[in-house]
Amino acid sequence: MWAIRLLRPPLIRSPFLALPLNLQCSFLTSAQTAEVLRPFIFAVHPDFFGQHPKEQAVNEHSLKLLYAHLENIRDKSVQVTPKDLTFYLRNGGGVQPSKQGQSVFRSVTVSLLARDIYTTVSNILETCSLPTNSLQELSAHRPLPFPRPVEWHHSYYAYTGKKDPYAEVYAKHQPAKDSLRNWLRTNVSIARKNEESSLPIRQETERLNESLQEELGLEELRWMSRWDVNTFRACLRSVGKLHREHPEIMDNLRGKKLVLGNWSGVSREGDVMLCIKSVEQQWLAFLSSLPQQMKVLDHLSVAEQQLSDLLGGSLRLSRRCCRNPMPAPAYLGLLRKMIAGLQRYRQTVEGQRDCQRISRGLLANVEMNVVSDSGRMYVSSRGALHVPASSQPPDLISFLLDNGFRVKDLKRHYQRKLLEEIAVVQTCVEELDLATLTKEDSVSTEEMMLCCRRLMESPAELGASLQDTSILVGHVYMVLWGGELCIPWNWKD
């Protein structure tokens, strides 16, 4: 990172002995800057303050800020802000004090106010009472101004507040950096190369997935991780190896859904989770006890029915609303916590009166999801009630009564929107001739439809052909390893 050495004392190697190559401004070159600052570096270098850790840390931090400040001066696209830096300077070249009570070093505060390197360096040397002879010699050879008007960088006008005479012309000829058109022009070709280079791996992964589902008798085998398909393929190979070496243990997976994700266990939906960060022996130990661990699902059904009975008897507990799967034992603990709280509340006079307000059948076809131990109660866009296990019984009952009828309308509205979204996505795929068009879980139905309709409005103005590409609608621009183009749902023109 550091290209020019300021000094080379024996047995001392430190990043503070060098300056970045681009620290030059106007007539003061990088080499000249390094030469002029040599006395200053000798006086404040952290390596000479080994017996004084406090002062050493201050100098080390201040030098980092100084180098960053000089870099920003050179890089005109970065706005330079004034700052004060404190340094401890060695007295007498680091020798011991000659008089009792005389300090080995002195504290100096350097104000960085100038916006050019020459003035900044001069101010540093003068503040520290260091010689400026070499700087004055360089000043005598300063070149004359360039014999034509200077076209200032746009950061100059931003800093001074003056009007940029070229602002309108620049805006017309420069596309927005974060516009979809500009991004696609650059990245569609990259995505096609990624797709082509990853095709053999993706085909092998798909083949392994299908063969393992058939050999293990799985209902489903899916990937739930942000790691790329290379990791998925490696995990599938490990599962296949365990099946060949321990078929009797792997037979415990027959008829089940296997998910390769971020933890091992049984999810509340009944899926078998295998952590992709674990080793094969850990998988084997877990799968050998899988029949016993699956019994927790029976306890879930009993607890859900018990909780529903305490809330009128017709409320339906849903397990599938969370984006991230929840371990079944953790979910059982949340249910039992709510059951215990409601049972205690029903023993009070107020609790008996509140519970009688929820008559049997009042909350029929209403979904409730226990999502976490703490948080807030809310109604999701798909028409489900999301509640934390720590909800107080009076607040929970009021929340159910206030939103019981509302969620039924929301659910019908969501189902209509879902069908509409499927139709819009299919139309977008056909009109743009896409390979696939999917979305992240965090993108709502309305956001997805808005994105698709905008894509179909003027496909010729997108800047690149999207034929046979895979689009993933999310929140950021990104090209995935497998060739998918990730775009934000609210992309800019």
- What does each of the 493 residues of the chain score in pLDDT, given as a tens digit? 333 333 333 333 344 444 443 333 455 677 777 788 888 888 888 888 878 888 888 988 888 888 888 888 877 666 777 888 889 887 654 434 444 445 677 888 888 877 778 888 888 888 888 887 777 776 655 554 554 456 677 667 666 767 776 665 555 444 445 689 989 998 999 999 999 999 999 999 999 999 999 999 999 999 998 888 889 999 999 999 999 999 999 999 999 999 999 999 999 999 999 999 999 999 999 999 999 999 999 999 999 999 999 998 889 999 876 567 899 999 999 999 999 999 999 999 888 888 888 888 888 889 999 988 888 999 988 889 999 999 999 999 999 999 988 998 999 999 999 999 999 999 999 999 999 999 998 899 999 999 999 999 988 778 788 999 999 999 999 999 889 999 999 998 7
CB atoms within 10 A of CB 336: 15
Largest Cα span, the chain: 95
Q: How far is CA 437 from CA 110, 427, 492, in A?
A: 57, 10, 19
User: From CA 75, how far away is CA 89, in angstroms rounded?
Assistant: 29
Spatial CA neighbour of 250 closest among 262, 241, 259? 241
Residues in contact with 449: Cβ distance below 8 Å, sequence separation at least 6, in sequence order: 417, 420, 421, 424
| Six token digits for residue 348 | 């009070």
User: From CA 64, how far away is CA 149, in angstroms rounded?
Assistant: 36
pLDDT recorded at residue 28: 67
Spatial CA neighbour of 471 closest among 446, 490, 452, 450? 452
User: From CA 408, how far away is CA 412, in angstroms rounded?
Assistant: 6
pLDDT recorded at residue 7: 38
CB atoms within 10 A of CB 117: 23
Give the pTM. Answer: 0.63
